[in-house]
Chains A and B, each alone.
Chain A
């Protein structure tokens, strides 16, 4: 691909894109932790009641 086919981002656009990416990353991490902890809570003590 030629360089003229590329969209050149300004500094402000790069900074905004990076901050949006960080925010999405944090939101996804929070969602994962939320589902993980809620699953453990819903299992309750039964989570330890298993054959090894």
Chain B
């Protein structure tokens, strides 16, 4: 098969050509309350061809391997059509060709748990949520694992065979009283097998308590606050607030953003260090090679408060004359690779939690993450739990805490980074354009940020 792919991309009338074939075995398990909503094992099989001709891209994806030559011709014809409409276009950063086979990490066995055993484990968590008792009235569990074998070859001589296993689940507890519904949420995920699912009884209890206690909590009052984020929410903050803006496809053809995002520019206090890495084994963001066959790196985005790097595809690196980072990722064979995050993290600092609380007369402690979103310089992220901080101490619980910020202002307002550090994943993943959800991880210590806008209609 590899030889066939190599031959397919060789000596074709294109400046660059790549082909990817993929077979993925997926498991989906979903509980909605006591009912098992879905139990399924499925197969996704397909491939794509991507061609670059005189700066224009053509891309074809398919499920059938017959007529691969015809798919190559179509991708090239499309690329030509683009080239005819533009004066200049993509050039790729040069990389050394690589031939490699990447098996699953030692000890990771996709067959280690049968479908029934996976279901039994999740059912035990589901039963524990439902057994918590009133006001917890319902549950939701979504589990999926994705086991892929990917063959990849390009016209620069790279040829890779890779195997990946991504395992993830989200647990939700739903509490209801007097017409009000509140939920507790926890996500988990990893690339080191099924161990990430084990021993989550504490988290199950925690989400039930959060859902229960939030029912009695008032809605947070909107306004500008000093906030402390727990590591989970701070990880999502790093992802939304800075990770997306660091994806170089935002900036590579955007000279004005390029001026703002000049390497060496100060974005935060010297205590701030943010990186994105494909090399952290076991995490959902781990991958040895990206989907252009480029070895992944640990890429500092902010070091000592200064902008030092960004996340590149070969196209964005080529245009900007910067080193490749191995950040070009595709959700699967149906999509072309684009710059994406892998494991995005704020590095631990030296503050204790008590030191963070010090001096905060009125603030919000926000914990856990439902999710977030970014557009340009603005971002939002939503906590699963919130507490007021009054007079330097944690005070009453509040609910419905959504935070928003502006990347240029908010990063500079991070004035404490904690000495703890947690990294996690989830079954949610990251969305960009139509490619959603891509497995990513985010990590952080507790952090404190001044002047964050918290939404809320409470008074």
Question: Are both chains from one complex?
Answer: no
Contacts from A to B (Cβ < 8 Å): none
Contacts from B to A (Cβ < 8 Å): none
